[in-house]
Amino acid sequence: MAEPLKKVLGSHVRGLRLERRLSQEELAEQLGVSARYLAGIERGERNLTLDSVDALAGQLNVAADVLLMRV
């Protein structure tokens, strides 16, 4: 069975954040969300809207589909 899409997204967000040497607090501040909310995204607990995925991708400087791609 395929991993849930929100877990895939969370894993990509965390990986990209770490590649960019950003703390959760730093990225959360850039996004205008709490660090706790971002942590929930990274754990795959949050159901994001497409607009939120798009904003997150923009902040990480990647295409939105990169965050949703199952590898």
- What CATH number should be reported for the domain holding residue 10? 1.10.260.40
In this predicted structure, the answer to whether residue 1 has a pLDDT above a threshold of 80 is no
Segments forming the whole domain that contains residue 22: 5-68
Measured N-to-C along each axis, helices 5-19 and 50-60 cross at an angle, to the nearest 10 degrees, of: 20
pLDDT of residue 71: 78
Domain count, the chain: 1
Q: Where are the beta strands (DSSP E) in the chain?
A: none
Where residue 2 falls among pLDDT bands split at 50, 70, 90? confident
Kindly report, residue by residue over 27-58, the tens digit of the pLDDT. Answer: 999 999 999 999 999 999 999 999 999 999 99
Taking the C-alpha atoms of residue 60 and residue 37, their distance in angstroms, rounded to an integer, is 16
Residue 13 neighbours by CB under 8 Å, 6+ apart: 38, 41, 42, 56, 60, 67
Regarding pTM above 0.85, the answer is: yes
